[in-house]
Every structure is written in structure tokens, then in C-alpha cells.
Chains A and B, each alone.
Chain A
Amino acid sequence: MGELWNAGPMALMLNGLIALSHYLFGSFGLTIIVLTVIIRACMYPLTAKQLRSSQAMQALQPKIAELQKKYARDKQRLAEEQMKLYKESGVSPAGCAVPMIIQMPIWIALYQSIVRVLAVVPEGLLNLSRYLWSWSIVYSMLPLDNNFLWFNLMMPDIPLAVLVGVTMWLSQKMVTPVTTDPQQRSQSQMMLWMMPLLFGFMAMSFPSGLALYWVVSNVISIVMQYFVLGSWGSLARSTARGPVVADKQYLKRITQVEKTSADIGAVEADIVETSPTKEEGLDYGVSGDKRQVGGGGYLPSPRGIRRQPKRSKHHRPKRR
């Protein structure tokens, strides 16, 4: 298995990197950047699909809430209907994880290639010759220069590790869904902070060549997300005052919908009208995009709208 890995993906990555560096002025740092762009460009269809899938999942939240309310006492039916809804909407719940899973062997191969190509110790350089393909440019290029910008590609670099964390946080923040469920919200928050911290920590203990890959990859993610989603997503909403208010209103409404589904029998007599025009008029982002509450044709169910109880003309709330 190890031999297969070394002779296949690892050797491909290693020789590819060396050959590429030949055309990039022998700069291994530049080679890593170009390689990252190539890998991410190849993965663009998958990434775009994943982003659209997450976007659609977010848009489906009200529909799911409605289903939950409708089949509150039939869990099996609820699961079936949810799967049906996902299928009809073309959403794959597993789609979000695919690009990450695909990238993992790339990270490992890249890490091993960096360590081997930039062999610092004699044993490493001697061992490297085992993996080289018989291309003249590969042999004459080695050993490559370890230095790029201000850092040594073989050594961990703290500023670069911080950059890994920051760019990953920005990238994650853009696609963090808005949710009312405290459990899911805490989970999103955990992932939002845990992944950048984890990668930042790893970048502090691994060669900075790998950290360079992560930084460039994160920046590409941000750009891709912007173009695919058409906005800065949660990043824009959290930095503008107006949208935050709009989010709160949205969250409040979703909470109401979910709460309604929990005590559906008790709300029948407690109704107040909500203006649909006000709902439609909400602006949810600096870029001008609006949240499509209906998720493509969804109409809020009258049963899901809370109404104020009828009051007599003489009834006034007490003032404090």
C-alpha cells in the first residue's frame, strides 16, 4: 500500500512540482501557489456544486420546518419527506464534505513532497532520488531553494500560520448558515473557530510550504464563494448594521415557525396577522441580495403564522 502510494500519487505530485518549478524560475514557493491554483481550478465544478448545495440547504430550512410541523408525530414519514425534498431540490447533504475529502490525499501528498523535495538532511536528499522520474529537468533542478518571500518553506512560520487561520475563518464565515436552533448554531460556531485554530496550529508545526498551500487555497475559496454565491454571505451580514437587524428578524420568524411546530395544538386561538409585504421587503446584504425565504416557490403556511388574539376596543396594555 505504502509502495503504491509512493509510486503513484506521491511520485506524481513530487515530480510534477519539480518539473513545474523549472518553468517558474526555480521558485518552489511560486510553484506551490501555481499548483494550488491548478488543483482548485480542477475542483471548481465540485466546489461550486457544494456551495450551491449549502445555499439550497439554507433556503430549504423553512420548508423543513413546515415538514417538521406537519409530521411531528410520524418520524419515519418526516425522514422520508425530508429526503424527498432534498431529492426534488437537487440537494445532496453529503455534497458539502466531498471537496474536503478529495483534498485530504492532496494535502498528504503535498506535505510529503515538500519534505522530500526540499530535503534538508543528507538522508532525505539521498532518499529523494528513489522517487524521481527520468526527466532531465527534474534531475537538474534539484535541490530546490528553500526560501520564498520572508520564510523558509521547510520550516514552520508563525505569521504564515496566522494567515492560515485568518483566511480560513473568513472563508468559513462566508458560508456559515444562519440558524435559530441553538444546537446547530453552537455547532456552526464551533466549526467556524475550531477549523481555523486547528489549521493554524498545524501550520505552526508543519513546513510553511504546506501553510502556503492552505493560505492560497483559502483565498481561492473566498473568491469562488463570492462568485458562486453572488455575495459575501455571512461575512457581509456580520459587518453591516442593517443586515444584522434583518437577520434578527429572519431568525425571529424562523424561531416562531419552529416553536409553532412544537406546540401546534395550542396556537390555534392565539393568532395575529403578519404582513407578507414587509417580509418580502427585507434587504439582507450589502451587495443587495435578498434572502429567498420561500426557497423557490415556498409560501408561508397560514398555520405557521402567529396571530395576536382579538382584543376589545377598550383593551389597552398596561404601561410601566
Chain B
Amino acid sequence: MGIKHNRRLWGKVLLLLVVLLIVGVTVSGCYGRTQTLGWSGAVVADDTLFIASVNGNLIALNTSDGGRLWPDVSLGTSAVAVYGSPAVEGDLVYVGGYNGKVYTISSSLGSKRQVYPVDENLEPIVSGVVVAYGKVYFGCSDGKVYALNAAELYKEWEFPTGDKIWSTPVIDGETIYIGSFDKKLYALNAMDGSKKWEFETGGAIVATPLVYNNTVYIGSFDRYLYAVDATNGSLRWRSGVEAGKWYWAKPVAYNNVIYAPNLDGKVYILDANSGSEVAGAVDLKSPISSSPVVVDGKVIIASQEGKVYSLDTSNNQISLLANLEDGGKIYAPLCASNGVIYIHTQTSKQDALYALNAQTGVTLWSLSLTSE
């Protein structure tokens, strides 16, 4: 009887272990997985703002009051995450999706026109799309830079890099600059995709490059900001200060000073020619992944926690412009047009767009992007 009792006890212990194991791993499984929602930035063309919502719709808004110009256009049959800002050229809006497709939508009618590729899917597109010279340029997670014909949406050329591309290309003259996970910054001929030069940093590159005064500024995962000669790809300087975390957002320049936000919550203020610190880094106490904008001599920066700051470039003093914490987190790049800042905030289920006066921080209008 005692033995049987002992065995029953053992059976219970083993059963408990198995249950604990299942519960533990399942809970950790639910906890660890991450959802793709996207963080599309906005683009303004002719008083119309285009933005993609976290539920995969392309939305056209009147910039004066935020009214919808046409019913939201669903990009895919299921929600498509969009990480890059849309691009506008003529009557077409271009947007790249995490499902590996590029879409064109008529900006006047709000109807889908074309999709690339038609039947298949590329690897996820995290990069934003850029339109120039009759071509649509974007980077892809398959490690290639693509150039599509902007009118017909067929591939004109592609350029392979050594790893994934999440960086948005920047076009200056006839050159495209783009970073890759392979730690390199590439300069490509925008016409045929031939490589002009490449420059290797110490870490992966996710940030979008900044081209300013014939110099390309790029932040890397090795926590340094690099200044590279735009003509030949030679290093001009590497920032003397090592940031606390990765450079994710695109830096901005004003009056020969570079403002480089970092995920450590600081904005590094560097001399554009030498890379030395012009002023001490400004600490916003929350990671910065949203690319800032410059409006009337002020750098507008949003931290992930939902606070918007204005950095006065004349004295490098920071002030809180608006607190949008109620709207959720801010990951998307900021958009500025006619003295108004458009800020995309999001939670895990819904997102909103705020239009703020760049000088006063007053909310001109705000609306939910998830529900019409």
C-alpha cells in the first residue's frame, strides 16, 4: 500500500512537472512573440496627406481639418504592416508592404492601380519607397535594392547587398544612398543600379542616410555616427562619442550642425565638418526611433514614450512641445508641412494622427486612423 501511495505521489509529481512545463513554455511563447504592426510616416502633397494605418489601410486626409478624402484603401486581403512612408508622384501614391509587395493607388480616386510583384511576394519590405527619374526605389529584406518603372511597375534593375535592407534610400543627384544589415553604406547609380562606392561601418545599418553638403551622414549599430564623402565614399570622420545604443532614426542638419537621435534617448549635437560635439547631448529619457524634422530653426523630436520636444538650434535648449502619451508610442518618422507637424502615434491595436502647430505645440486636429 505504501509503495502504491508513493507511486501515486510520483505520478502526481510528474504530471505537475509536465503541466508546469507546458504552461511555462506556452506563456513564454505568447510573451516572446512580436506582432508586426508597422509605423508608417506621413507624406503631404498638394494639401493632401497620405499615411498607412496599423490595420493595413492607405488613408488620404485633407491637411486643413483631417477629413478623409476617400474611403480607406485596404492594401491586402489581410492587414499589411507598412513601415516606410508612402511616396507621391503625379496621380499615384506608392507604398511598400511588409508582405513583400509594392502598391500604387490613385491619389484622386482612392483605388488600387498596380501591385508588384503580381503573383508572388518579395521578402518583407521595411524600407520606405522613393520616386525619382520615373522609377520607384526601395530596399528589401532579401538584401536587394530594387528600381521599378514608376508608370508600369515592372523591375528595371536590382542591386544585391550582403544582408537585409531596412534602410530607406535617399536620392541626391543621380546617386542613391542606402544602408544594409551587412554594415555597409552603398552609393548606387540611380539610372542603372551600378555601384559607385561602398563604405563599411562597424555595425548593421537600419537608419536612413542624410546627405548634406556633399557628405553622407549615417548612424550605425556600432553606436557611432559616420560622415562619408558623397563623391568617393571616403571617411571624413567618425563621431568621437560612442552613443549608448543604436542609431535607428535619420539625423537632421541645420546650420552646419548635425542632430543625431539615438535609442539611448539622447540627441547628439555634432559639428558637421569635424564630428566634434557642439553641445552636450540632450537627454529625452526615452528611446528615439522616430526621425526628427527641422521647422523654422527648431528641431522637432519625438520620443518613443509619446512626448514631442522642440530643440532650439540657436542655443540648443530643449522644451516640451506636446505630450501625446495618451495616443500611444511614437515610432514613425515625423512629417512637417507649412508649419504643421504630423505625428503618427500607436498602441498595439489602434493608431492616431496628430496635427500640431510647430511653434506652439497646439493640437490643430487629431483623429483615429484605425476607424473611419
- Cβ–Cβ < 8 Å partners of B35 in chain A: 121, 123
* Complex contact B245–A115 (CB within 8 A): no
Residues of A within 8 A of B33 (CB): 115
The answer to whether residues A184 and B7 also contact, given A82-B2, A112-B28, A127-B34 and a CB cut-off of 8 A, is: yes
Are A129 and B166 CB-contacts (below 8 A) given A100-B17, A183-B4, A198-B22? Answer: no
- In the complex, the answer to whether A202 meets B25 with C-beta atoms within 8 Å is yes
Query: How many interface contacts (CB-CB < 8 Å) are there between A and B?
Result: 116
| CB of A64 closer than 8 Å to a CB of B | yes
Which of A68, A142, A195 is within 8 Å of B2, CB to CB?
Answer: A68
Residue pair B181, A143 in contact (C-beta under 8 Å): yes
Q: Is B18 an interface residue (CB 8 A)?
A: yes
Partner of B36, one of A108, A123, A195: A123
Q: Which of B8-16, B56-64, B229-237 contacts A (4 or more CB under 8 A)?
A: B8-16
Picked from B29, B34, B263, the residue with its CB within 8 Å of the CB of A129 is B263
- Alpha-carbon distance A306/B18, docked complex (angstroms): 41
Question: Shortest CB–CB separation between residue B99 and chain A, in angstroms?
Answer: 12
Residues of B close to A122: CB separation below 8 A: 36, 39, 83, 126, 166
Q: Is A4 an interface residue (CB 8 A)?
A: no
Choice from B14, B28, B244 contacting A108 with Cβ under 8 Å: B28
- The answer to the question of A97 belonging to the interface, with a C-beta cut-off of 8 Å to chain B, is yes
Residues from chain B with a CB closer than 8 A to the CB of A82 are 2-3, 6
Secondary structure dominating the interface of A:
helix
Knowing A108-B24, A122-B83 are in contact, say whether A140-B202 is a contact too (CB < 8 A): yes
What 1/0 flags go to B351-362 for Cβ under 8 Å of A? Answer: 000000000000
> Complex formed: what's the CA distance from A141 to B36 in Å?
24
Contact present for A107 and B221 (CB under 8 Å): no
> Of B3, B14, B18, B331, which one neighbours A181 at CB under 8 angstroms?
B3
What distance in Å separates the Cβ of B121 from its nearest Cβ neighbour in chain A? 15
B246-A108 in contact (CB<8A) = no
Q: Could you name 7 residue pairs across A and B whose Cβ atoms are closer than 8 Å?
A: A78-B1, A111-B25, A115-B33, A126-B289, A130-B287, A136-B222, A206-B25
Q: Which residues of A contact B31 (CB under 8 A)?
A: 112
Asked if A266 is at the interface (CB within 8 A of a chain B CB), the reply is no
CA distance A188 to B33 in the complex (A): 35
Q: Which residue of A lies closest to B35 (CB)?
A: A123
Chain A residues whose CB sits within 8 angstroms of the CB of B24 once the complex forms: 104, 107-108
Contact status A123-B34, CB under 8 Å: yes
Interface size on B, residues (CB 8 A): 50
Contact indicator A115/B1 (Cβ below 8 Å) = no
Cβ–Cβ contact B36 & A112, under 8 A: no
Pairwise interchain contact A187-B244, C-beta atoms closer than 8 A: no
Q: Is the CB of A123 within 8 A of B203?
A: no
Does A245 count as interface, using CB distance less than 8 angstroms?
Answer: no
Considering only residues 318-334 of chain B, those with a C-beta below 8 Å from chain A are: 331
Could you tell me the distance in whole angstroms from the C-beta of A61 to the nearest C-beta in chain B? 9
Q: 8 closest pairs, A vs B, by CB? A: A115-B32, A78-B2, A124-B34, A108-B28, A112-B32, A121-B36, A140-B222, A140-B203
Residue of A nearest to B248 (CB): A126
Residue of A nearest to B14 (CB): A191
User: Assuming the A-B contacts A116-B32, A119-B34, A129-B287, are A139 and B17 also in contact, with contact meaning beta carbons closer than 8 angstroms in the complex?
Assistant: no
**Cβ of B21 < 8 Å from any Cβ of A?**
yes
Identify the A interface with B (CB < 8 A). Answer: 64-65, 67-68, 71-72, 75, 78-79, 82, 93-94, 97, 100-101, 104, 107-108, 111-112, 115-116, 119, 121-127, 129-130, 132, 134, 136, 139-140, 142-143, 181, 183-184, 187, 191, 194-195, 198, 202, 205-206
B20 contacts A104, C-beta separation under 8 Å:
yes
Contact with A along B163-183 (1 / 0, CB 8 A): 010100000000000000100
User: From B262, which residue of chain A is reached at the shortest CB distance?
Assistant: A129
Bound CA span A68–B7, Å: 14
A148 to chain B, nearest CB (A): 16
- CB-CB nearest in chain B for A195: B18
A187 near B289: Cβ-Cβ < 8 Å: no
With a 10 A CB-CB cut-off, give which of A71, A123, A130, A205 has the most chain B CB atoms: A123
Query: Given the complex, which residues of A lie within 8 Å of B42, measured CB to CB?
Result: none
CB within 8 Å of A: which residues of B? 1-7, 10-11, 13-14, 17-18, 20-22, 24-25, 28-29, 31-37, 39, 83, 98, 126, 164, 166, 181, 202-204, 206, 221-223, 242, 244-246, 248, 263, 287, 289, 331
A197 to chain B, nearest CB (A): 11
Q: Which of B17, B36, B164 contacts A97 (CB 8 A)?
A: B17
- Given A68-B3, A75-B1, A101-B17, does the pair A132, B245 have CB atoms closer than 8 Å? yes
Residue of B nearest to A210 (CB): B25
In the assembly, what is the distance between CA of A40 and CA of B221, in Å? 33
Cα of A256 to Cα of B202 in the assembled complex, Å: 74
* Known A-B contacts A64-B3, A78-B1, A112-B28; A198 and B203 likewise in contact (beta carbons under 8 Å): no
Known contacts: A112-B28, A183-B7, A198-B18. The answer to whether A139 contacts B246 by CB under 8 A is yes
Which of A104, A116, A122, A205 has the most B CB atoms < 10 Å from its CB? A122
Further pairs besides A111-B32, A125-B206, A187-B14: 9, Cβ < 8 Å: A64-B3, A104-B24, A108-B24, A112-B28, A124-B34, A129-B248, A136-B223, A142-B203, A143-B181
| Cα–Cα, bound, A122→B124 (Å) | 10
CB distance from B177 to the nearest CB of A (A): 20
Residue of A nearest to B202 (CB): A140
Given A104-B24, A139-B223, A187 and B2 contact (CB-CB distance below 8 Å): no
Which A residues touch B11, using CB under 8 A? 187
- The answer to whether A97 and B13 touch across the interface, beta carbons within 8 angstroms, is yes
A171 to B202, CA, bound (A): 44
- Chain A residues with Cβ below 8 Å from B164 are 143
The answer for the CA separation of A14 and B331 in the assembled complex, in Å, is 24
Cβ contacts under 8 Å, B28 to chain A: 107-108, 111-112
Q: Are B18 and A134 interface neighbours, CB within 8 A?
A: no
Of A107, A116, A126, which is within 8 A of B25 by CB? Answer: A107
